Amino acid sequence: MDTIKRREAILEILRDIDLPVKGTELAEKFGVTRQVIVQDIAILRARGINILATAQGYIIPKNIDQKNFKKKIVCNHIGISQMEEELNTIVDLGGKILDVIVDHPLYGEIKSPLNIESRHEVSEFIKSINLTNAEPLSSLTQGLHLHTIEVKDEETYERIKKALENKNYLVTEE
């Protein structure tokens, strides 16, 4: 399969599936290295295709239910175990964690998509961090970070905020 056909096949896979696809899976499917897939994704993005790279793999976001609300929360904590507890709290109470954002003193805003909406996905994310020995983005800002979360209603948002506040993870304006 030539490069152009492979890229079109990757695009078709991502458009047809609702779950993220790992780069290694695509590499195996097409008999190329993961680095070739990374390059293919970069070329597809340059064509204007909205492909997100998440901890679970590549995904093209589908139309989001317009009934849901997107809200930002500011959190602060240190360590993987507290991060896991924070993420589990959000998903347990009905939130979907769309991203993590830090305000780096040199680079400005750094944002990474997460798209985590279940305990299983939290567990997989934490497993990936531990396997790669990667530091979370919040380590760049001594634990201070934002999340964009998606919730079905204001009541769900308030429950999540209250639970995070009770765990001393939520940063409030006071």
Domain ends where: 38, 59, 80?
A: 59
Average pLDDT over residues 51-59: 87
Residues 89 and 37 in one domain: no
End-to-end CA distance of the chain: 59
Are 20 and 58 within 8 A, CB to CB?
A: yes
Number of domains in the chain: 2
| Domain membership of residue 17 as a residue range | 3-59
Whether 41 shows a pLDDT value over 60: the answer reads yes
Q: Does any domain span residue 171?
A: no
Q: Does any domain span residue 36?
A: yes
Helices 34-46 & 23-30, crossing angle to 10 degrees?
110
Residues 73 and 154 in one domain: yes
Q: Does any domain span residue 64?
A: no
Residues 47 and 97 in one domain: no
pLDDT at 74: 92
pLDDT at 173: 59
Q: Does any domain span residue 114?
A: yes
pLDDT at 107: 84
Residues 85 and 159 in one domain: yes
Average pLDDT over residues 76-85: 93
CATH number at residue 26: 1.10.10.10
